Amino acid sequence: MPMIDNPPAHVQATGQSVQVNGIPLSADYRVHVNGVSAPVYIMPTRYDVPYQKGSPMPVYGGQPWRQPMYFACADLPEPVPVSVDLAFLSADEIRSVTIHPLSRGIALQREGTRVSFTVDQPGTVTLVVNGDHRTRPLHLFFSPPVEAPPPDAIVFGPGFHDLSYEKPITLTNNQTLYLAPGAWVEGVIRITGARNIRIMGRGVLAQRRPGSADYAGGASAPAGIVLSDCQDVSISGIVETRGIGGWCSMLSNCDRVRLQDYHVLASVVWSADGFNPCNSRDITLERSFIRSGDDSIAIKGNTGGDVLKLPHIPPSSQPAVENILIRNCVFWSDHNEVIAIGCETRARHIRNIRISDCDVLFHYAHEGLGVFGIVPLHGTEISGIVYEKIRIEHCEEQLFCFRFLDNIWGIPGDQSFAGGISNVTIRDVTVLHQKGGPRSEFTGYAPNKRIEHVSIEGLRYGDKPVTDAAGMGLRMNAHVADVRYK
């Protein structure tokens, strides 16, 4: 597999990037997969501009966070040995190294500053040093061997490609975009009204330069990938990174989109959502990793114009959201919900959302929001939501937050339209650690806008089963009905 050059061996581990032909690399970790060196990229985690005057800076362990994160990519044709040198610490400074998700059960050996282990299946492996999620975690992306692009594909080869936001990559019907292993493309992708589209490869799509101010006046840039009114789309294998606020990828009124081995690193607050399917249908996200400085995934209804200027468009007039499957994925949210339904919910209805067989490594939310949230700003029917076979390793706020909103963070809503939340299933969910103990929230809006028919089965804190509301620290109001524990 073609590779870009690593930093020279004499480069010191500093927590700073070494720009090799414009590509941010690091010497803090040195990674070898099956004996072959893999370049280690470095990206920021930072909080640049407060959401509003007086808003507190996020802290962890009493200190504002501005730590880097690292990632490397490798193909996995068969089980492979992996070794990682932690060059930024001495052996005496390393108290522990853990491999996540813990559910993979990967055994690790350590000798001095080097750790070694074997990876036997595709997916994401994250190393956390000394139990500190914030300080320099390493994310390793293992994917099946990369396919060759078709002869007529648009190809970006290994190396640095500097595109402007004003000149996005565009595709039309039946086209393929290929980001080769070792490619680093600074730019954005825009596809409108196209069918049979494929975005593939092992390269990196990045947005690091400011492009505009966001709705709160913070530094931002255009979303990385925007698909509008598209059908039959595949996105596989690529890495998307952001060092600036703004969404990573968005679907608007799309049908039949599949994302596999899609990796997102965008730990910048605010509005750095990982993946936002909006008013879209038949969407599958699988074997992917998303780390975000805002919602990892936000399932929204936000067509019909600027929600700030046109908040009262009837949801019934907008395309539906339905049949979304999220499975076998790994998530990490540094500053909002992991998977949110909302906050914008201007859709005819939102139905049949399933989150299955996923791991949450770390979660910290603002204003008490949850790992999983249903937070409608606009009245509509939300039903058929399933959370099953999910492992949450570290949670700092609520687990489930189902709450109607009239406004949030300056975004106005409209609850004058009918709606409600119903037929929600929570099955086989395990929480290893929740700071401050178990807590969740179901808050209905009114007698005619309720949360109802919620089934909770196999929810556990460690090995302790939850059999009632007290066991999960659940707060409910009078507009919640028929919450059942099995």
Burial 440-477 (b: 16+ CB within 10 A, else e): bbbbbbeeebbbbbbebeebbbeeeebeebebbbbebe
pLDDT in tens, 167-202: 999 999 999 999 999 999 999 999 999 999 999 999
pLDDT for 373-412, tens place per residue? 999 999 999 999 999 999 999 998 999 999 999 988 778 8
What is the predicted pLDDT for the residue at 212? 61
d(CA 40, CA 220) in angstroms, rounded, equals: 26
pLDDT attached to residue 61: 45
For the chain, domains (ranges, CATH) are 18-143 (2.60.350.10), 247-485 (2.160.20.10)
Whether the bond into 101 is cis, omega within 30 of 0:
yes
pLDDT of residue 358: 98
Question: What pLDDT, on the 0 to 100 scale, is given for residue 60?
Answer: 46
- 21-78 pLDDT, tens digit per residue, is 889 999 999 999 999 999 999 987 765 444 443 444 445 444 455 678 899 999 998 9
What residues of the chain score a pLDDT lower than 50?
Answer: 1-5, 8-11, 48-58, 60-63, 215
Task: Please give the Cα distance from 480 to 443 (Å, whole number).
Answer: 7
Record the pTM. 0.92
- Residue 412: Cβ within 10 Å count: 16
